[in-house]
Amino acid sequence: MSIAYYIFKLWFTIKCMIFKDHVKINGYLATEEVKCVQKFLMSQLAPEEKDTILEFGCGTGMHLDALSKRCWKIVGVDHLTPMVKKAREFNKENRNVEVIPWAGKRLPFNDNTFNKIYSWNVFQYLNSHHNALEVIEELHRIVKPNGRIFLGDLPFLAMRWKFTEQSMGLPVPIISNIFRRLSCFLYTYYDKFILRSICQKKFGLTKIPKRDSRLPWSAERFDLLIDVKKK
């Protein structure tokens, strides 16, 4: 694991200890941002009642709760034990939600398990581009043929040193701005056209969806939607 991984692990562990508010723990400025993200996730995943869905990097489980009402079953995995605990507490009334702690390269699921898989605001914490491709290959292994993988909120390399001082019209706290500037050295950034091309060749039809301009830090991020093709 990289030094950045341990810094982020400590950062989120501290936030889980200090805050009870899931919005703050997950780094959102307001619940309006959360609702906007969830609406965007719904539009890209198009969940159906029969679907079994995986969230890779579920954090405190807010998105699990929202999507659980649109599918048969949804599973969340996360590296951080405090996040897993919060996610289980948040979803204790949702019988079709399961939250699993996970560490290592191989996810604890059989091949072709899920109809749809998504992650949001996760790939920036991966160690490298090579690590990111390993993760996508693993997600590809466990998604069903003709399934869908949505990789959301990836930091765009071309915007690495540019900052939006507001999110959804809300002023950004000083400490958040400081951390965002520090993250330029800690995050893994991606060229969206190169990553799209690689995913297109290896995993299936890959699109860069048009972003809702109201999404947090919209100008600095991008998303990939993969319609999986495999035998």
| CATH code where residue 60 lies | 3.40.50.150
Contacts of 80 (CB under 8 A, 6+ apart): 9, 12, 13, 16
Chain segment 148-205, per-residue pLDDT in tens: 999 999 999 998 888 776 677 677 777 777 777 888 888 999 999 999 999 999 999 9
Residue 35, pLDDT > 70, answer yes
Chain segment 101-118, per-residue pLDDT in tens: 998 789 999 999 999 999
pLDDT of residue 20: 85
Q: 179 is written with which tokens?
A: 């951390």
pLDDT of residue 124: 93
Q: Report the alpha-carbon distance of residue 100 to residue 140 in Å, rounded.
A: 19
pLDDT of residue 165: 67
Q: Which domain holds residue 105?
A: 3-228
Q: Report the alpha-carbon distance of residue 42 to residue 119 in Å, rounded.
A: 12
Q: 97 is written with which tokens?
A: 């939600």
Q: Report the alpha-carbon distance of residue 35 to residue 203 in Å, rounded.
A: 30
Total domains, the chain: 1
Residue 219 DSSP class: G
Residue 39, pLDDT > 90, answer yes
Q: 183 is written with which tokens?
A: 């993250």
Mean pLDDT of 134-156: 97
Q: Report the alpha-carbon distance of residue 82 to residue 90 in Å, rounded.
A: 12
Distances, alpha carbon 173 to alpha carbons 29, 165, 166, in Å = 9, 9, 9
What's the residue count for the chain? 231
Q: 149 is written with which tokens?
A: 């993988």
DSSP H helices, the chain, are 3-18, 22-25, 31-45, 62-68, 81-90, 129-142, 174-186, 192-202
97-101/114-120 β-pairing: unpaired
Q: Which of 17-26, 41-50, 199-208 has the lowest mean pLDDT?
A: 17-26
Residue 197 DSSP class: H
Chain segment 59-103, per-residue pLDDT in tens: 999 999 999 999 999 999 999 999 999 999 999 999 999 999 998
